[in-house]
Structure 1
Amino acid sequence: MGEEPVRRRRGRPSGGGAAAEDQREAFLDAAEQLFVSRGYRATTIEVIAREAGYSRGSVYRHFPTRDSLVEALIQRTTRRHMLGILDRLPKDAKPLDVITESLVIVASELNRDPLVRSISDQTDERTVAMMLANNAELHRLVETWMSAMVEADAGATLRPGLRAKDLGLFLIATSMSLLLGVIPGSEDPATTRRYLDVFFLPAVAAQFPPASPVFTTGETSE
């Protein structure tokens, strides 16, 4: 089989070949659909290429290894969830509210995403969290996002003197704890918000609520 596209699916443009970004997205779309429907272990690069309508060599030009494809897919899924935050919050939401809700979504929704669940269930349980924790591009994105948050806040709700880089790293570290299930009951949004009020906000907020019970009876009994 040659290296040029051999067929098209799902409305991809026909003709003299897709742009590189379109081709890359086609592979990610196919991989996501297959990981969810067939399972992570049963989905090979060859199967992904066939589903997308390209040769296996075309996949490797964008993703040298299967792990690099999975990392890109997890990053895309994470970004999709995070972008959805702005659609749920009032337009006048404070930066601190946006940060808090981001962590709630990581804990209660990202963990339940069909793609993340498929990968987590069929690999080392640390895989998704570690891929995110070690992803340099994600670190850059979060730091850029935190820089915008700190600038927009102008000291109104965030702790004075807080650096965007430090805030970004702390946000990622907290997210990893939530993804790994280290915090009992964190799949429940109410529990996560109580946890953030008591332990996260004192580290980053100019003002924060007084300490109160976080876990209900029985949540930490395991």
Structure 2
Amino acid sequence: MTDDTAAPAPRTQAQRTAATQAKVLDATVDALVELGYSGTTTQEVNRRAGVSRGALLHHFPTRESLVVAAVSHLVDRRLAELLSRPRTGDEDLDILVEAFSGPLFDAALELWVAARTDRGLREAMIPLEQKVSDALAAGSAELFGARYNAAQIELTVELARGLAVSRILRTPESDRAFVGRLLPVWKEILQSHV
């Protein structure tokens, strides 16, 4: 008789490294969302991720590299999530507005605000912002094809970001109503300039 309950093959070093990094990055995003940038210390991330200080510092030698990598990790996940949805062919700008919601936006907002006065963080975020812009452009091209040009997409992203910032001061119900009034007007403006 054959034993089908054989132990799984041991993980490779690359798999262990990837698992450790994912735990650290997820813990960092959670801390950013719950505690803000000022409360997201390396000690707090160590505690949440359950990794040693040495492991954390090996992968992310500075706080800036840690928080930027965490948001970058979340950007990749969020883009994959949005692009993996079943397509109807009727996808529209609503999806860009939706992209600026949830933990990704909350974590990124914490970094944007902190970067205003933290020069090191600001410099670390410049490549991240380029990555976000590139990801939004590529995702939009895949979703919309030639329906909108690059400038229309870029301006829509800025509008979506602004709506997301102002969402902080609205209830979810009033936000849905607010966006529900503004987005159709924006789509109409874009369609009139095609």
TM-score by length of 2: 0.62
- Which structure carries more helix by proportion? 2
Q: Which residue of 2 aligns with 1:92?
A: 88
Return the alpha-carbon distance in structure 2 between the equivalents of residues 35 and 185 of structure 1: 21
Q: Which residue of 2 aligns with 1:144?
A: 138
Q: Which residue of 1 aligns with 2:184?
A: 197
Equivalent runs, 1:120-139 vs 2, <5 Å: 120=110, 124=114, 135-139=129-133
Q: Which residue of 2 aligns with 1:55?
A: 52
Return the alpha-carbon distance in structure 1 between the equivalents of residues 153 and 59 of structure 2: 28
Return the alpha-carbon distance in structure 1 between the equivalents of residues 60 and 97 of structure 2: 29
CA contact (8 A) 1:31 1:48 kept: yes
Give, as a single letter, the amino acid of the residue that structure 2 aligns with 1:116.
D
**1:46 and 2:43 matched:** yes
Offset from partner CA, 1:9-33 (integer Å, 9 cap, x none): xxxx977745333222121122234
In the TM superposition, residue 195 of structure 1 has moved relative to its aligned partner by: 0.7
Offset from partner CA, 1:61-80 (integer Å, 9 cap, x none): 43343233223333444555
Higher relative contact order at CA 8 Å, sep ≥6: structure 1 or structure 2? 2
Offset from partner CA, 1:69-104 (integer Å, 9 cap, x none): 22333344455556555687x742423x2x323304
- Equivalent pairs: percent with the same residue? 23
- SS of structure 1 residue aligned to 2:132: helix
CA contact (8 A) 2:79 2:139 kept: no
Compute the RMSD of aligned alpha carbons: 4.4
**Unmatched segments (≥5 aa) in structure 2:** 1-8
Q: Which residue of 2 aligns with 1:174?
A: 159
Q: Which residue of 1 aligns with 2:24?
A: 27
In the TM superposition, residue 124 of structure 1 has moved relative to its aligned partner by: 5.0
**1:116 and 2:103 matched:** no
CA contact (8 A) 1:28 1:73 kept: yes
In the TM superposition, residue 169 of structure 1 has moved relative to its aligned partner by: 2.2
In the TM superposition, residue 44 of structure 1 has moved relative to its aligned partner by: 1.9
CA contact (8 A) 1:36 1:115 kept: no
Return the alpha-carbon distance in structure 2 between the equivalents of residues 62 and 168 of structure 1: 35
Judged with a 3 Å threshold, the aligned counterparts in structure 2 of structure 1 residues 194 and 21 are, in CA distance, closer, same or farther, namely same
- SS of structure 2 residue aligned to 1:205: helix
TM-score by length of 1: 0.56
In the TM superposition, residue 196 of structure 1 has moved relative to its aligned partner by: 1.5
